[in-house]
Amino acid sequence: MAPLSLPKFNFDLKKFSLPFMQQQNLTVGLDIGSHAVKVCELLESGKKMKLVSLGSARLPAEAVEDGELKDPDAVAAVIKSLFDNLQIKGKKVGISISGYSVILKKINLAVMNDKELEEHIQSEAEQYIPFDLTDVYLDYQDLKTNTTEEERTDVMLVAAKKEVVDSYLLMLRSIGLKPVLVDVDAFALENSYETNYGQEGSIVLVDIGSSKMNINIVAKGASLFARDVALGSRQLTEQIQGKFDLDFEQAESLKIGAVSPAEKQEDLEGIFISTTTQWIMEIKKAIDFYNSNFPDTPLTKLLISGGGAKVKGLDRYFSEETGLPVEVLDPFLMTMADTSKIDPEYLKTIAPEMAISVGLASRPCPF
């Protein structure tokens, strides 16, 4: 493992695997959001990756909420038809989770070898995790932040409620898929970034989905701050719905610019301004935290992704507010796509939403 490698979590799924499974080098990335399911399949091809398939399918309202599966059958049906339509052969999938059922905790410990650390975590985890340990899957990674002056290191501890993780595993198995990896949204996002941009600089990653934002600040491959916030693009839809007395789909169309706002323009701008102001306030809180804790390594860039990153002018606004260069993350920067099979325009349009699924899809199959 590199001295500062990405935290890549996997909640010990090996015991669920079947022997003699067909060879598949990379995991099929499956990002089950609250608005849509995104799937991405990559193939290793020299320095670059080859994009084999990608797609997205809307989920029924309330099928996934707060990171939990509320209607597993409905979600299973959507995933199954997405795999069928895209003719995805790989069965080994990687998913990621977020929300209230996941706890990320960075702890600072004396440097230990792997065995000592494992024992320490097993015996001491209780004091760091606010859940009963029998109810959670636990994983950790030594971020190896020790220096020659200080023999202490940061360790990222991750706990996820078994009940929630198991409901995803069960749902995926019900349609013949083999979950081989469970990651955390913020770290899958980080993996997407590093696969495409490397480990240069100190970067703020923000994925703005439908109902939550994942904020992850990374420097040299280590996550220094990770937090989920319950804000997202659905807020815009709901406010547009309320303001103009529209149904959800009409409000969505107005929001994404599929229909002309006409006389609604001014009110619509007001909604966008007040909501995106809430978004940037949360991002600035994270940035302030980072700046006061790591004053010697200033942030170099803010990268946004998720469907919410497609709000027009958001990059410019965030840049004005933070003083940082802001870009929309391109998860396909280092990927070759066969343009006779994958429409480049579609790829460009869907790229921001695909960030997390690409982060999952670029991870090797653990077994």
Ligand X SMILES: Nc1ncnc2c1ncn2[C@@H]1O[C@H](COP(=O)(O)OP(=O)(O)OP(=O)(O)O)[C@@H](O)[C@H]1O
Contact residues toward ligand X (CB under 6 A) are 33-36, 209-212, 232-234, 237, 252, 255-256, 306-308, 310-311, 353
Residue located via tokens 């990653």:
205
Alpha helix segments (H runs only) across the chain: 72-86, 114-128, 162-173, 185-197, 234-244, 248-255, 265-293, 314-322, 344-350, 355-361
Closer residue to ligand X in complex, CB, 188/287: 188
**Under rule CB under 5 A, residue 99 binds Mg ion:** no
Compute the least distance from the CB of residue 273 to ligand X, in Å. 14
Closer residue to ligand X in complex, CB, 253/319: 253
Nearest partner of 43 among 30, 23, 21, 25, judged by Cα:
25
Closer residue to Mg ion in complex, CB, 42/206: 206
DSSP strand pairing (136-142 vs 213-219): unpaired
Q: Which does 35 bind (CB under 5 to 8 A by kind): ligand X, Mg ion, none?
A: ligand X
Could you tell me which stretch among 204-212, 247-255, 308-316, 325-333 binds Mg ion (CB under 5 A)? 204-212
Q: Which does 192 bind (CB under 5 to 8 A by kind): ligand X, Mg ion, none?
A: none
Q: Give the contacts of 266 (CB within 8 A, at least 6 positions apart).
A: none
Residue located via tokens 């990320």:
104
Tokens for 233? Answer: 């693009």
Compute the least distance from the CB of residue 87 to Mg ion, in Å. 24
Amino acid at 283: I
The whole-angstrom separation of Cα 34 and Cα 228 is: 14
Tokens for 238? Answer: 């709901």
Nearest partner of 274 among 305, 310, 231, 307, judged by Cα:
231
Q: Which does 331 bind (CB under 5 to 8 A by kind): ligand X, Mg ion, none?
A: none
- Contact call for residues 243 and 318 (beta carbons, < 8 A): no
Q: Which does 280 bind (CB under 5 to 8 A by kind): ligand X, Mg ion, none?
A: none
Closer residue to ligand X in complex, CB, 35/161: 35
Residue nearest to ligand X (CB): 307
**Under rule CB under 5 A, residue 232 binds Mg ion:** no
Closer residue to ligand X in complex, CB, 221/261: 261
- Contact call for residues 66 and 99 (beta carbons, < 8 A): yes
Closer residue to Mg ion in complex, CB, 140/332: 332
Amino acid at 25: N
Compute the least distance from the CB of residue 354 to ligand X, in Å. 9
User: Mask 10-49, x = binds Mg ion (CB under 5 A)?
Assistant: -----------------------x----------------
Q: Interface with Mg ion by CB under 5 A: which residues?
A: 33, 209
